[in-house]
Amino acid sequence: MKYKVAIKKTEEGYAVWVPGLPGCWSQGRTEEDAMENIKDAIQSYLAAVEELTKDAEARYVEVVNA
């Protein structure tokens, strides 16, 4: 899957977050580090969501992006 990420240069390096996944963020000394780190953060975020919703009844919907 692809996720849109926002990235911002800071005094310490780069901050990066996923607007579509509230609370999913990371950082790195370089832009490349930050982009690698956000991949791990996304995987951890999605694993946590899966664990928290494993017993919940669920449905899937398809959304077409205009």
Please list the helix, strand and coil fractions of the chain in percent, rounded to the nearest 5, in that order: 35, 20, 50
In a domain, 62, yes or no: no
In a domain, 39, yes or no: yes
Cβ–Cβ < 8 Å for 35, 27: no
pLDDT score of 13: 98
Q: Record the pTM.
A: 0.86
In a domain, 43, yes or no: yes
Per-residue pLDDT of the chain (66 residues; tens, 9 = 90+): 999 999 999 999 999 999 999 999 999 999 999 999 999 999 999 999 999 999 999 999 999 987
Range of the domain at 25: 6-52
In a domain, 1, yes or no: no
